Structure formats: structure tokens, C-alpha cells
Structure 1
Amino acid sequence: MAVQQVRGVIAPGKDQPVEVRTVLVPDPGPGEAVVKVQACGVCHTDLHYKQGGISDDYPFLLGHEAAGVVESVGEGVTDVAPGDFVVLNWRAVCGQCRACLRGRPWYCFDTHNAQQRMTLEDGTELSPALGIGAFAEKTLVASGQCTKVDPAVAPEVAGLLGCGVMAGIGAAINTGNVGRGDSVAVIGCGGVGDAAVMGSRLAGAAKIIAVDIDQRKLDTAVKLGATHTVNSRETDPVEAIRELTGGFGADVVIEAVGRPETYKQAFYARDLAGTVVLVGVPTPEMRLDLPLLDVFGRGGSLKSSWYGDCLPSRDFPMLVDLHLQGRLDLGAFVTETIALDEVEQAFDRMHQGDVLRSVVVF
């Protein structure tokens, strides 16, 4: 079987600087596709991989928020063809598990990736981030990880739907069921939180309260649709959210940080029978302590949102269309475009809160 040599960004070991190395990409096997990557966002999840926060299956081929063009497909692939412009996703639904068969494919319990592994030149197998590995000129994925969208959209914008932006918009629309006239609070205004603000606006929320400790992030949230802001470094966010909602709390509170402290704030900042959505990713050692009587007495629902409960085949094309119609400004998330060998510096800027998204453009 033929292989192609491409350049890719590798995380060689825990907390080590990333390296640009030669990656060998095999021809696609049954159910697989090779995609020529055009753009890939630098997501916090890539930093988690680099730091060892997800697994110790080094070396990792980083990058997963990507868009590009299908170059070749393996045997039996009918959903995409060479030349298709696609957004990559890390939840290729199986169609066969109990969730899929019950008509809830966004909960698919058996999502899949490419069977073959990409390697370094010495044969070392690479672990692709979220089963994608798109900080590379080309990558091998399962064909179900490719979602066709309108090729009129810019790749650096489309790729962001592959992870963070979809997670945030979906947390509001799919998981939180934000509706017309609702009040929404979003705690944590990074890329995912800001996308939740944008999703709430799209859904017709009347009041969207952005909460963060960084004034720059709050200013950005206002540009994306927040009607009110709370700097939780200076103000108790629970009291502030209640004050802004007639003393009751918000109908939906979206926690986009992933910490017990901010989750408790979300829990107490919602109205009776309101909804809490956890879309921020916690670390394994975190624990939550809540009075069970409060969980019972306040009613409503406590939900987790995995990838915004999205169904890529349904949601990606719709959001791209809304963007092309000028109704969803996905371009607002792109702070800068960078080259492949600037990923390490992009992690530094992310760490300092200087960017919403850096996007590698090929």
C-alpha cells in the first residue's frame, strides 16, 4: 500500500514543545478517507493533549478543528467523494448502536475513527488528537468524520465548527434548548462560551449574560451578542445574574469552564426549574459537593453537553448556511491565521488569553 509524506505537528511527550515532523499517511482503507487539510484551529483540547491531560499515548499528532478537501476514499465509501469540501468531526456516528437505532444518533455510543495508523518515518505509530490529527498537510480519517458543507465558506471559518464553536452553539441550542425570550447566563467566555453566547442569540434569547474574570473576554462577548456582562473577579456572579433576572435566576445557565466552583455558581444562578448545561471539560480529580435537597428542591435539569449534542450531518451544513447568509458571524472567532510551525507560540498566546482562535492555514 502506498504512503504519502507530509509535514505535521507532533507532541512528543508530556509538556514538551511541539515539533514539526514528517508524517506518513497511508492510502485509505475500507471506510476511510484522506483529506487535504486547508485550515485547522488551535483548540484548548490540543493543549490538554500536549500536557498529558487526556492520555499518555504519546506521540500525538495534534489538531482537530479542521476543514479541507477529500483527496481519496477507500472501498465502500459512498457518503463523500474526492473533491468534496468537508469539515472534520470527531463523532462519526455508527448507525447501529442502541442510541442510533432509537433515533438519537447525537448520543452515538460507538463512534469510530480510521482503522489504520499514521506514523513517523521510523514506524512509530501516532495518536491523532480526537481521532483526527489535522495539524498536518493531509490526514487519514473515517469517512463518517467528513461532513460536506457549502464550499463557498472560508476554510479557516468552517473548520471551527469541527470542535469549539459547535460545542458552544450546540450547548445553547441542542442541549440547553434555549428558546425565544429566554434568559441565559454563560459562565466562561473563551471560544466555547462565546459560541454559546452566539447560539443563544441565534435561538432568540432575550437576555444573554456573559460572566468571566477577564474584561477583554467580556468585551468580545458583547460583540457576539451578550446583552449584559458580569466580571466575577469583582462581583458575586450568582447575585448579579439574579439581579439581572428580576431576582429569579436565568432560565438556562451554560458552564463553559469545567470547574466545581463555577458549576456551583451555575447551579445557584438558574431559576427554579431552569437548566444547567456543563460544556466545560473537567479534569479527572475534580469533585462536586451539593446539598441533595437543593438538587431536588430546585427542580429543572442538570445536563452535560458533549460536542454540543451535535449531529454533524445535520448541524454543520445548517450553521455554514447561516454564516453565508450573514446571520452567524463565525469569522469573529478567528483572531489570527498562522503557519504550521507557529503552533507552539499559539499555545502561549492562548494560555495568556490573548486570542479567541489562532488558525493554521495551509
Structure 2
Amino acid sequence: MQQVKGVIARSKGAPLEVVTITVPDPGPGEAVVKVQACGVCHTDLHYREGGINDDFPFLLGHEAAGIVESIGPDVTEVAPGDFVILNWRAVCGQCRACRRGDPQYCFDTHNAIQKMTLAEGAGAGAELSPALGIGAFAEKTLVAAGQCTKVDPNARPAAVGLLGCGVMAGIGAAINTGEVTRGKSVAVIGCGGVGVAAVAGSALAGASPIIAVDIDAGKLETATKMGATHTVNSSVVDPVEAIREICAQTYEGAEGADVVIEAVGRPETWKQAFYARDLAGTVVLVGVPTPDMKVPDLPLIDVFARGGALKSSWYGDCLPSRDFPMLVDLYRQGRLDLDTFVTEEIELDQVEAAFEKMHHAGAGQRVLRSVVIL
């Protein structure tokens, strides 16, 4: 075992602390990874605020890339020295989804068995709950080997590590869940990190038009850089009517977009997505709602009459072993601009300040991702 620095949330709403943690030697099926970069995601903030569960203390951080330092017995996926992106969907290979050939829907994903612990001070010896089974706001972390996906070692860790969560969620919502292809029209409602990634994924797939919707002009500007062909400021115009008008100009008779991706996670924007899609169109919910939110009042006849599909996208329906290397290759070829998502590079003791920027994101601080560099 070894001791390293890591960022923990000790209790709900408490200030983050940089503390010394103990990382066990890897056991069967486990690996220790030396973290090089880790993005600051809204999910980490949700953990700190008690929005996920109350298994405090949490070791935060999960959008990460690094180098495998050591592996336990029976590990065949990776070897020491491999450059990897960490994921929170290590598939089991045995459940009914895996057996039928749909491992991206694995119903029994797993994490490391052993626990990292507090090394000193108040609560020394207490087991830590790693965020999404990763806990990468740390110099080193212990994960299941299946959570490590080997990729091109020449890629920039700060950029490709973001594929570990938010960027993959957005790209996957478009390509995997929404099945966006050449010739389809797409609208993305909400252009934070996940929404902008959905725009980028739609552009990769050859969609047109790609309509970005938000209330922030700066976010719409970023969406344009990532491939949006049209933008709609929904604080000024009705987004449903604007989307319909743009699509009708491109495809005669169109009543909306073929695929509408909702990346906000609110009832009112989901309802906009529902009515902004074309007949037989698809709505993809990738924004994360809170437990108290309800589907808005929606006449069942409208659900029936419009046809199509209403989907939710969890982690972009990705299979890390398939999707991460492909997207890193596209990044290395200059076809996927992951660098744009890296707004700033910070240190471990600046994660709290990054959380504050999330709270004030609408007040001129347009941060797609703060990334901790270790």
C-alpha cells in the first residue's frame, strides 16, 4: 500500500479538503493508476451536496486519464505503463445484456473490491467512497481493471480524460442513443459541456442542420465552433418554432428535427424537445433531472400521433473499450476538438474554486471544464 494526496468531501456541503489517503496494493482484477489529469464534473458537486447518496466521506473526481502503475492477479485488460482513460462502466460479461451482445447496457458493472481509506487526522482509517467508483482527484487511485481503457499514449491527458464522463455522454447521446447519421437534422437544447459534446458528435456523424439552443450567447458561440450550423437563443425566441422553421427551410414539409437532444434535464426543456421533433422523430434525454421532477402535462394522443421514440441516454450508451480508442484517434487526427472543452488547468487545492465557477456559470464565466493536472 502507499499514501498519496486526494480531495475528499467529508460531509454534505462541507468545504473540500486535500488530505492524505491510503491506496491498497491491487488485488485480483484491480489496478492502481497514477492519475495525470481529471476533469471537474457537475456530478462531483452533486456528490458533495449529498445529491447522489450519503456515503460520506467521498473521494471525488472521475473524468480521468493516467498511467497504470500496478495490476493485481488475473488482470489481462491492461499492463503497467499503459496510458488509460478511466470509466465507471466496467462490464461483467455475464449478465443478460452482455450475453445477448449488448455489453453497453451491462446490468452488473463493477468497481474495485478493496477500499481506499483516510490515512491520518480526524477519521483516520475510515473507508472512502470513490465518486462513480473512481475517485481520481488523487495522485493515484485504485479501480477495477475493467475501468481502464488503453488508448494512444501520445494524446493529451487533460483533453482525452474528459471522455471518461461528460464528453462521452454527449457524443454518445447523439451517435449511440439518437442514432444520428448523415442526412438527419439535429437540435441540441442546452449547450453546457454535455450539450456541446452532443453537437460535436452530431457533426462527426454528418448531420445537417445542427441547431444549438441555449439562453447564453457565449455557449452558443462555443457550440458553433464545435459544429452547430444554426443557433437559437431561447431567451429571445420560442425554440420550438425556431427549430421547426430552420428544419422546414432545409427539408420541405419537415415539422421539426429528426433528433432532439435535451441536455438540461428539466421538464420544460424536455417538453420543448418533444414538440420540436419531426414526425417519427427521436427525443434523447441526457440532461440529469432531480428526483422530484415530473414529466410535464402531455396529452397521450400527442405521444401516439407523433410516433418516433422517447429515449434516455445513460453515459451515452457507450462501450468504453469500443468508443474511447475510436474517439481518441479522431482527436489525434484533428477531427474531434477535445481541447476546446478544457477551459482551464488547475491544481488539487483549486477544486472548490472550480465548483464556485459552476454556480456562477451564467454570469459570464463560461467554463466547459476545469481540469486538475497532477
- Same fold by TM-score greater than 0.5: yes
Q: After the TM superposition, which residues 83-162 of structure 1 pair with which residues of structure 2 at under 5 Å, given as runs?
A: 83-121=81-119, 122-162=124-164
Q: Distance in 1 between matches of 2:242 and 2:49?
A: 35
Partner of 2:43: 45
Q: Distance in 2 between matches of 1:157 and 1:283?
A: 29
Q: Which TM-score applies when normalising by structure 2?
A: 0.95
Partner of 1:360: 372
CA positional deviation for 1:261: 0.7
1:264 aligns with 2:271: yes
Q: Distance in 2 between matches of 1:220 and 1:67?
A: 24
Q: After the TM superposition, which residues 310-349 of structure 1 pair with which residues of structure 2 at under 5 Å, given as runs?
A: 310-349=318-357
1:280 aligns with 2:278: no
1:18 aligns with 2:30: no
Residue pair 1:37, 1:137 contacting (<8 A) in 2 also:
yes
- Structure 1 gaps, min length 5: none
Partner of 1:70: 68
Partner of 1:300: 308
How big is each residue's C-alpha offset from its partner over 1:205-242, in whole Å with a ceiling of 9 and x where there is no partner? 01111011111111111111111111111111111111
CA positional deviation for 1:14: 1.0
1:194 aligns with 2:196: yes
How big is each residue's C-alpha offset from its partner over 1:187-212, in whole Å with a ceiling of 9 and x where there is no partner? 01000000000000000001111011
Paired amino acid for 1:279:
V
Q: After the TM superposition, which residues 56-67 of structure 1 pair with which residues of structure 2 at under 5 Å, given as runs?
A: 56-67=54-65
- Structure 2 gaps, min length 5: 249-253
Q: After the TM superposition, which residues 231-242 of structure 1 pair with which residues of structure 2 at under 5 Å, given as runs?
A: 231-242=233-244
Q: Pairwise CA RMSD of aligned residues?
A: 0.7
Q: Distance in 1 between matches of 2:140 and 2:10?
A: 19
Q: Which moved more, 1:104-113 or 1:229-238?
A: 229-238
Residue pair 1:350, 1:356 contacting (<8 A) in 2 also:
no
Paired amino acid for 2:373:
V
How big is each residue's C-alpha offset from its partner over 1:53-106, in whole Å with a ceiling of 9 and x where there is no partner? 111111110000000000000110011010000000000000000000000000
CA positional deviation for 1:350: 1.9
SS of structure 2 residue aligned to 1:335 = strand
Q: Distance in 1 between matches of 2:54 and 2:39?
A: 23
Q: Which TM-score applies when normalising by structure 1?
A: 0.98
Partner of 1:221: 223
Q: Distance in 1 between matches of 2:359 and 2:63?
A: 18
Partner of 1:31: 29
Q: Distance in 2 between matches of 1:56 and 1:241?
A: 41
Partner of 2:258: 251
Given candidates 197, 209, 212, the residue that maps to 2:211 is: 209
How big is each residue's C-alpha offset from its partner over 1:145-166, in whole Å with a ceiling of 9 and x where there is no partner? 0000000101101100000000
